[in-house]
C-alpha cells in the first residue's frame, strides 16, 4: 500500500501536479489506516494523470458531499491479492457544506516537504483539522492530542486562524484547550463552534455559498443517475462454492467501495416472505453458508430441492408475478438501487436465471418461454459470474440431486450465460484463492473501464 501511494505521488509530481496531504500522515507510508485526505489545485486531473501510469489503476472516482472532494480508489496487484489506496482530495478549495473555509492556494503555496510528499504548515493544518472535527461533531483523545501538538509548533499562527474562524470568546476557549491539552469543554461545544464558523463564512460570501450548495446537489443527482456501486450476481450448480467465494471477494474488494452487502436469492426481506417457514429456512441456509466459509468442500447436510411438486399453471403464473414485483420494487428499487448510489458492492448468491435452469427447485409449473420473457424485465447485474466445474466434482461436493441432474443443470447454465452481457465463466475446480483472484480481476477490470468511460479518459 505504501509503495502504491509513493508511486502515485511521484507520478503526480512528474506531471507538475501539486498535492498536499492534510493530516494523519505521521506514519505514512508504512501505516495507511484509512482514506488519505489531501488537497490539490485541480483534483479532477488526478485520474487522468494516474490512468496513464502502468502500475496504478484508477478503479473508482466519486464526487463526495458534504466535502467538495473526489474520492479516488487506486489499485495494484500484489501477487494474487489487490491492494488499494483511497485518496480523498478536495477540489481546489477546502470546502465543506458549500462553504470555503480556506483557499487551495493557502495550502499549495505554503506546504512543506515531509518524506516524499507535502504537508501544510502547522497552523494551517491545525485550523483545517479543527474545522473538520467541528463539522463532524467528533473529537477523540488522539485527535485532541494532535491538535495540541500542532498548536505548540506555532501558537501565534494558530491564534491568528482561530480569530479568523471564531468570535473572540470561542477562539480563546479553543486556544486554552490546545495549550493545556484538555479538550473536554471544547468537545461538548463542537456543534456551537461549527455554527459560529459557518456564520463567519456566510457573512462574507452568501452568494458563493448558495452556488456551491447548488453544485453539491447537482453532483448528488449525477451520482443517482450513474451510481458508483456495483451489483455482482453469482450463479452455479450446488457445490460450486458460491458462498465461500462471495465471502472472500467481499472482504478483498471492500476497500474499493463505501460499504458491502450480500444477499441470497432475491434482495430485501420483504413482507411477502415474513413467515415462520421462510425464516426457519433462511436460518438453515445461513448455517450452511457459515459451514461452507469454514470448509468450502465440506459435505453439508443433504436436502432434496426437488422434494415438493411443482405448482399448477394458475398458481405458477401468480407466483411469477409476485416474484417480479417483490424483487423489482421491494428489492431493487427500495434497497439495492439506494445502496448502489452510496457506492455499495452488492453480491447476490443466485439470480433470476436459476428459475430458468432449475424450475423444479422453485416449483414453477408455467411455460418456460414466459419465465424467460419476464426475466427480460428484471434489473440486470453489472457483472454475472458463473462458477463452473465438471459435474463429477460438483456432485462430490453436494449430493442434493442425482449426478445426471447436476450435469444437466451445468450444461443449461453454460448455454444460458454465454448469451448474457457482462457474463463470465470461472473454473471453480481450481483452488479457492485462484478462483477468488480471477473473479476480483474481472470485477476490478470492469470498474476501471467504467470509471475511464465516465471520465472520458
Residue 280 has pLDDT above 60, yes or no: no
Helix axes of 432-455 and 242-253: crossing angle, nearest 10 degrees: 50
φ, ψ of residue 67 in degrees (nearest 5): -80, 135
The pLDDT of residue 267: 42
Task: Band the pLDDT of 327: cuts 50, 70, 90.
Answer: confident
The pLDDT of residue 196: 94
Within its chain, how far is the Cα of 298 from the centroid?
A: 31
The pLDDT of residue 129: 96
Task: Domain 229-455: state its class.
Answer: alpha beta
Average pLDDT over residues 16-20: 92
Residue 233 has pLDDT above 90, yes or no: yes
Grid cell, residue 423, equals 457474463
The pLDDT of residue 303: 63
The pLDDT of residue 265: 62
Task: Band the pLDDT of 51: cuts 50, 70, 90.
Answer: confident
Distances (CA, A) of 90 to 71, 288, 450: 9, 45, 22
Average pLDDT over residues 150-157: 96
Within its chain, how far is the Cα of 386 from the centroid?
A: 23
| Cβ-based neighbours of 195, under 8 Å, separated by 6 or more | none
Element of type H or E holding 84: strand 81-91
> Kindly report the CA angle at 348 between 430 and 370, in degrees rounded to 5?
105
Helices (H), 358-390: 368-375
Residue 334 has pLDDT above 80, yes or no: yes
| Cβ-based neighbours of 175, under 8 Å, separated by 6 or more | 151, 155, 158, 159, 162
Chain segment 234-260, per-residue pLDDT in tens: 999 988 999 999 999 999 999 999 999
Grid cell, residue 214, equals 447548488
Chain segment 281-326, per-residue pLDDT in tens: 666 666 666 666 666 555 445 567 777 888 888 998 998 888 888 8
Name beta bridge partners: 85. Answer: 74
Instruction: Give the Cα separation of 408 and 406 in Å (integer).
Output: 5
Average pLDDT over residues 418-423: 90
Distances (CA, A) of 367 to 305, 313, 321, 355: 20, 8, 13, 12
Q: Of 108, 189, 369, 87, nearest to 172 (Cα)?
A: 189
Decide: 132 and 96 in contact? Cβ < 8 Å: yes
Instruction: Give the Cα separation of 116 and 5 in Å (integer).
Output: 10
Q: Residue holding cell 439495492?
A: 336
Q: Between 2 and 437, whose confidence is greater?
A: 437
Q: Of 223, 293, 290, 234, nearest to 258 (Cα)?
A: 223
Chain segment 54-104, per-residue pLDDT in tens: 778 999 999 988 888 999 999 999 888 999 999 999 988 999 988 999 999
The pLDDT of residue 276: 44
Instruction: Give the Cα separation of 181 and 151 in Å (integer).
Output: 10
Task: Band the pLDDT of 268: cuts 50, 70, 90.
Answer: very low
Task: Band the pLDDT of 33: cuts 50, 70, 90.
Answer: confident
Chain segment 163-201, per-residue pLDDT in tens: 999 999 999 999 999 999 999 999 999 999 999 999 988
Could you tell me the pTM of the whole model? 0.86
Q: Between 407 and 305, whose confidence is greater?
A: 407
Grid cell, residue 332, equals 431493487
The pLDDT of residue 108: 93
Element of type H or E holding 347: strand 344-349
The pLDDT of residue 308: 82
Q: Between 387 and 68, whose confidence is greater?
A: 387
Helices (H), 226-367: 242-253, 276-294, 313-325, 337-341, 353-357
Round the average pLDDT of the chain to a whole number and report it.
88
The pLDDT of residue 104: 93
Q: Between 54 and 374, whose confidence is greater?
A: 374
Q: Between 385 and 362, whose confidence is greater?
A: 385
Decide: 43 and 219 in contact? Cβ < 8 Å: no
Grid cell, residue 276, equals 415462520
Element of type H or E holding 20: strand 19-21
Residue 154 has pLDDT above 70, yes or no: yes
Average pLDDT over residues 329-333: 85
> Kindly report the CA angle at 42 between 41 and 47, in degrees rounded to 5?
130
Decide: 197 and 209 in contact? Cβ < 8 Å: no
The pLDDT of residue 28: 92
| Cβ-based neighbours of 49, under 8 Å, separated by 6 or more | 11, 12, 15, 17
Amino acid at each position: 500500500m505504501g509503495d502504491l501511494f509513493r508511486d502515485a505521488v511521484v507520478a503526480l509530481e512528474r506531471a507538475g501536479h501539486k498535492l498536499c496531504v492534510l493530516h494523519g500522515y505521521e506514519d505514512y507510508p508504512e501505516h495507511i489506516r484509512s482514506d488519505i485526505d489531501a488537497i490539490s489545485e485541480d483534483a479532477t486531473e488526478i485520474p487522468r494523470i494516474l490512468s496513464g501510469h502502468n502500475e496504478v489503476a484508477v478503479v473508482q472516482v466519486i464526487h463526495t458531499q458534504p466535502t467538495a472532494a473526489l474520492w479516488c480508489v487506486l489499485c495494484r496487484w500484489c501477487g494474487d491479492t489487490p491492494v488499494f489506496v483511497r485518496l480523498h482530495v478536495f477540489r481546489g478549495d477546502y470546502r465543506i457544506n458549500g462553504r470555503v473555509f480556506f483557499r487551495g492556494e493557502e495550502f499549495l503555496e505554503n506546504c512543506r516537504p515531509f518524506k516524499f510528499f507535502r504537508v501544510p504548515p502547522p497552523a494551517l493544518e491545525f485550523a483545517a483539522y479543527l474545522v473538520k472535527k467541528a463539522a463532524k461533531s467528533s473529537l477523540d483523545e488522539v485527535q485532541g492530542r494532535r491538535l495540541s501538538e500542532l498548536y505548540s509548533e506555532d501558537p501565534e499562527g494558530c491564534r491568528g486562524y482561530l480569530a479568523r474562524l471564531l468570535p473572540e470568546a470561542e477562539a480563546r476557549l479553543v486556544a486554552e484547550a490546545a495549550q493545556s491539552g484538555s479538550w473536554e469543554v471544547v468537545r461538548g461545544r463542537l456543534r456551537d463552534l461549527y455554527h459560529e464558523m459557518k456564520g463567519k463564512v456566510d457573512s462574507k460570501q452568501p452568494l458563493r455559498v448558495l452556488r456551491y450548495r447548488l453544485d453539491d446537489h447537482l453532483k448528488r443527482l449525477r451520482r443517482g443517475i450513474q451510481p458508483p456501486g456495483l451489483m455482482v450476481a453469482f450463479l452455479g450448480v450446488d457445490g460450486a462454492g458460491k458462498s465461500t467465494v462471495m465471502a472472500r471477494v467481499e472482504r478483498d474488494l471492500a476497500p474499493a467501495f463505501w460499504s458491502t452487502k450480500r444477499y441470497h436469492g432475491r434482495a430485501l426481506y420483504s413482507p411477502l416472505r415474513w413467515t415462520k417457514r421462510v425464516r426457519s429456512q433462511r436460518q438453515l441456509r445461513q448455517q450452511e453458508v457459515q459451514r461452507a466459509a469454514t470448509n468450502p468442500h465440506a459435505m453439508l447436510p443433504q436436502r432434496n430441492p426437488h422434494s415438493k411438486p411443482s405448482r399448477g399453471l394458475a398458481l405458477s403464473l401468480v407466483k411469477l408475478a409476485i416474484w417480479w414485483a417483490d424483487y423489482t420494487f421491494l428489492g431493487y428499487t427500495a434497497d439495492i438501487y439506494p445502496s448502489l448510489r452510496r457506492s455499495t458492492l452488492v453480491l447476490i448468491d443466485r439470480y433470476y436465471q436459476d428459475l430458468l435452469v432449475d424450475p423444479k427447485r422453485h416449483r414453477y409449473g408455467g411455460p418456460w418461454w414466459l419465465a424467460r420473457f419476464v426475466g427480460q424485465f428484471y434489473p440486470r447485474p453489472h457483472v454475472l459470474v458463473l462458477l463452473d466445474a465438471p459435474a463429477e466434482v460438483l456432485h462430490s461436493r453436494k449430493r442434493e440431486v442425482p449426478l445426471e441432474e447436476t450435469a444437466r443443470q451445468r450444461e443449461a447454465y453454460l448455454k444460458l450465460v454465454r448469451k448474457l452481457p457482462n457474463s463470465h465463466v470461472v473454473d471453480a475446480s481450481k483452488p479457492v484463492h485462484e478462483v477468488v483472484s480471477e473473479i476480483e480481476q474481472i470485477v476490478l477490470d470492469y470498474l476501471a473501464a467504467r470509471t475511464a468511460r465516465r471520465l472520458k479518459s
